Amino acid sequence: MSPPPKSNYMSAANLQAGWITMPETPPHIFHPFFSTRDAQQTCMSMQNANESPTLAELSALVMHPPHGEPNKFLWLGPSGITIGKVNLSADKPRDIMEEVDHMDHRRVEGRLECPVGVSLSEYHMLLAYPHKLNAFSIYTKTVVYEDVWPQDYGNAVGLVNDPTSEFQWLFTKQMTMKYKPMDESRYVWRVFLERGDYAKALMIARSRLQIDPEAHELVLKRQAEKFLADG
């Protein structure tokens, strides 16, 4: 019997002889992550500072965008919420996920307020609490949207994202509610402008030129003033 061919293709003769040629390197992006010999597999860790058994079991991980390769993640854990970057082309597994910011769970009237579900959009993180949904800015960590529902709707059980319709579905034991971001970049250009990131501010303002031409003019004005001040 002849040895198997080196090619990744199979002929009818090879199949009849019982040879199945497999590629030496699986051609998918997760191969380095699963086959690496790097012993340090843990990218991040989150401690339960409150030593609560309930909080210790609190965990959820979501990625964005839902289609194609993700570039950011949100991780809900016992000590809070971590936002970070995803780089599937990183050389080492520990560099695939990079923490950018962390937000501790808030206390309301002395009690710890923890989400029962999380989701992630381009500019916001959505946190579902038992009787309300909050949308936080990824950049400022401030609440930009809040929806509080009546007690008879029941407590929120979870929050899921439908990438096809872009709806965010929140559900209780009694009913479901759907949410969808509308013009969610309307304030983000100003965040980048105040940070001095004129390139990103201008990119977002230009995409909204027909909706808010004043924003585009303001970014150009501030950028020109900065150039003149720097000489």
Give tens-digit pLDDT for 162-191: 988 889 999 999 999 999 888 888 889 999
- pLDDT band per the 50, 70, 90 thresholds, residue 15: very low
Asked if 176 and 76 sit in the same domain, the reply is: yes
Identify the bridge partners of residue 171 per DSSP, sorted by sequence position. 158, 176
What type of residue is 140?
A: T
Q: What is the structure's pLDDT at 156?
A: 95
Q: How far apart are CA 179 and CA 10, in angstroms?
A: 50
Q: Is residue 46 part of a domain?
A: no
CATH (domain of 131) = 2.130.10.10
C-alpha to C-alpha distance for 206 and 196, rounded to whole angstroms: 16
> Minimal CA–CA distance to 177: which of 224, 119, 221, 223?
119
The torsion defined by the Cα of 95, 101, 102 and 103, in degrees rounded to 10, comes to -160
Q: Domain for residue 14, yes or no?
A: no
Residue 130 and residue 196 share a domain? no
| Partners of residue 101 on adjacent β-strands | 83
Residue 52 lies in a domain: no
Neighbours of 67 (CB within 10 A): 8
Assess if residue 154 is contained within a domain: yes
Contact 97, 46 (CB under 8 A): no
Q: Which is nearest to 111 in space by CA: 97, 130, 95? A: 130
Within this chain, do residues 166 and 199 fall inside the same structural domain, yes or no?
A: no
Q: Is residue 19 part of a domain?
A: no
Q: Are residues 178 and 84 in the same domain?
A: yes
Structure tokens at 128: 């579902």
Q: List the beta bridge partners of residue 82.
A: 75, 102
- Looking at the structure, do residues 197 and 165 belong to the same domain, yes or no? no
Residue 122 lies in a domain: yes
Express each pLDDT in 132-157 by its tens digit: 999 999 999 999 999 999 999 999 99
Percent of the chain past pLDDT 70, that is, above it, reads 76
Please give the tally of structural domains in the chain: 2
Provide the strand spans (E) within 138-197.
Answer: 143-148, 156-162, 167-172, 176-179
Residue 44 falls inside a structural domain: no
Region for 78 from its dihedrals, namely left if φ exceeds 0, alpha if ψ lies in -120 to 50, beta otherwise: alpha
| pTM score, whole prediction | 0.73
Q: Is 103 part of a structural domain of the chain? A: yes
- Could you list the residue range(s) of the whole structural domain that residue 219 is in? 188-230
Instruction: List pLDDT tens digits, range 184-224.
Output: 888 899 999 999 999 999 999 999 999 999 999 999 999 99
Residue 212: predicted pLDDT = 92
